Amino acid sequence: MANNRVTNKNSRKQFYSRRGEKSSLTNQQGGVKKLSDILPSPSMLESYEEIVPGMSAQLLTMVKEEQEQRHKLEVKRAKMLALSNRIGQLLSFALAMAIIYFAMFFMRQNHTELAVTLIICGFAFLTIVNLAAIYEGKKPKSNRGGNA
């Protein structure tokens, strides 16, 4: 019985490696895979059905469940990304207000050079951070590898 399990595990690995797929639903160019890329060809499905009756129904069920799970994860990822962006905006606003407050404080203490330096350096830093965040958001998504 243990030998049968090993054979089944190995055959599953060979099935996936023969098709050259990872468990991800994105292809190497970052696009979404077609249904024909996810499921085996109809002739292969027929041969699997002959070997193990009900296998094609199991495969379709697995694909549906994986799609539902992937959709849930994408919704969760989008919500987390929106929350992260909102927190970043609030922290940037708080830092800008702190820069303005301390610049005014130093001006009242007759440290004009320090106030001007603080404003220039502080807002340059905020600009660089925000530009980096914008650039990071526009980067094409790379294939991060499968979750084998």
Predicted TM-score (pTM) of the model is: 0.54
Quote the tokens at residue 104: 């005014």
What pairs with residue 32 in β-bridges?
Answer: 26
Residue ranges covered by each domain of the chain: 23-138
pLDDT in tens, 82-138: 998 899 889 999 999 999 999 999 999 999 999 999 999 999 999 999 888 888 877
Identity (one letter) of the amino acid at 49? E
pLDDT in tens, 26-74: 444 455 555 556 777 888 888 888 888 888 888 888 888 888 999 999 9
Quote the tokens at residue 130: 């925000």
